Structure 1
Amino acid sequence: MKVAFLLWLILVVVYDFRMRRVPNWLVLAGVALALTALALGAGPLGHDWRAALLGAGAGFAFLLLFYATGLMGAGDVKFAGALGLWVGLPALAPIWIVASLVAGIHSVLWLALRRWPVFPQLALMLSGPLRATESGTPVRRLRIIPYAAYLALVAAAWMVWGRQS
């Protein structure tokens, strides 16, 4: 199931970096795989149902506050809940902290490049893809930070390198 978890994380990273959204089908696939892994006792981090459900609830509830204030997209919130099922509550806190630091670096770099356009292409890449409005003119999305992608990257690193027993 570790391979399934890593493949799911890779899909989330690619989709969120490219589109700045995480579709429901991808979140639901992750939830289904996590529940299957838990039922088979084959979770990638070896936690139990209680830790998984607490992780899912905490991931969803905590990030829901950011969604309610308009700071985060709904896909990020749903992904955090699904990720909590995979990693459980004990691993979720360090994953959140590191992913938040990486997302903070992303935003600081983007703001600096907007103010001092030394590398304009990098600033455009960090701000995300264009989307078309009803009039057909392309505009940037309001959410520039692919937070789910950073959560997924840190979770993959945590599973591969952070859990050396």
Structure 2
Amino acid sequence: MTLALLLWLLTTIVQDGRERRVRNGLVLAGVALALVALALDLQPFGVRWTDALLGSAVAFGGLLCFHAVGLMGAGDVKFAGALGLWMGVQPLLPIWLAASLLAALHSLLWLALQRWPLAPRLALALSGRPGGTGNRPRPVPLAAYLAIATIVFMVCGPGG
């Protein structure tokens, strides 16, 4: 099931990075895979039902506050809830902090490129405006950064 989780995370990175959205089908696939892993006792991190459900509730509820005030999209919140099923509650804070750091770096680089247009294509890619269309930049792909932080967690472990 580790491979299934990794493929789900990689798909999220590509989809959110390109489209700046996480489709419901992708979130539901992650939830279904996590539930199957739990039911068949194939959970890659040894997370049990109680911790998985608590992780999902904490991740979803914590990010829902940010969505409620317009700081992130609903797809990011739903993805976080699905991710909580996989990871449980313990690694959520370090994953969220790492993802937030990546999102902040993304934003700072985009702002710097707006001020000093040294790399217009990179600025366009960071803005989330495919082909330069749209009146305003799309949000930072937080779900992609959550997925990247999770992969780093998977490789380095809790102490890494």
Q: Same fold (TM over 0.5)?
A: yes
1:28 paired residue number: 28
> Which of residues 144, 147, 153 in structure 2 aligns to 1:152?
147
8 Å contact from structure 2 (residues 72, 139) kept in 1: no
Match of 1:56 in 2: 56
* Residues 138-164 of structure 1, C-alpha deviations (whole Å, 9 max, x = no match): 315543310000000111111122258
Cross-structure match for 2:39: 39
For structure 1, the residue ranges without an aligned partner over 5 or more in a row are 132-136
Show the counterpart of 1:19.
19
Other structure's SS at 2:89 match: helix
What secondary structure is seen at the aligned counterpart in 1 of 2:90?
Answer: helix
**TM-score scaled to structure 1, two decimals?**
0.91
* Inter-partner Cα distance in structure 2 for 1:31 and 1:99: 20
Distance 1:52 1:19, change over 3 A: same
Give the counterpart letter for 1:124 in structure 2.
L
TM-score when normalising by structure 2: 0.94
Partner of residue 112, structure 1: 112
1:162 aligns with 2:157: yes
Partner SS state of residue 139, structure 1: coil
Number of equivalent positions? 160
Mapped to 1, the partners of 2:16 and 2:65 lie a distance apart of: 20
Alpha-carbon separation, structure 2, partners of 1:63 and 1:139: 26
Aligned residue in 2 for 1:134: none
Match of 1:139 in 2: 134
Against the structure 1 CA distance between its residues 140 and 21, is the aligned structure 2 distance closer, same or farther, given a 3 Å change threshold? farther
* Contact 2:129/2:137 (<8 A) preserved: no
Give 5+ residue unaligned stretches, structure 2.
none
Does the CA contact (< 8 Å) of 1:128 and 1:141 recur in 2?
Answer: no
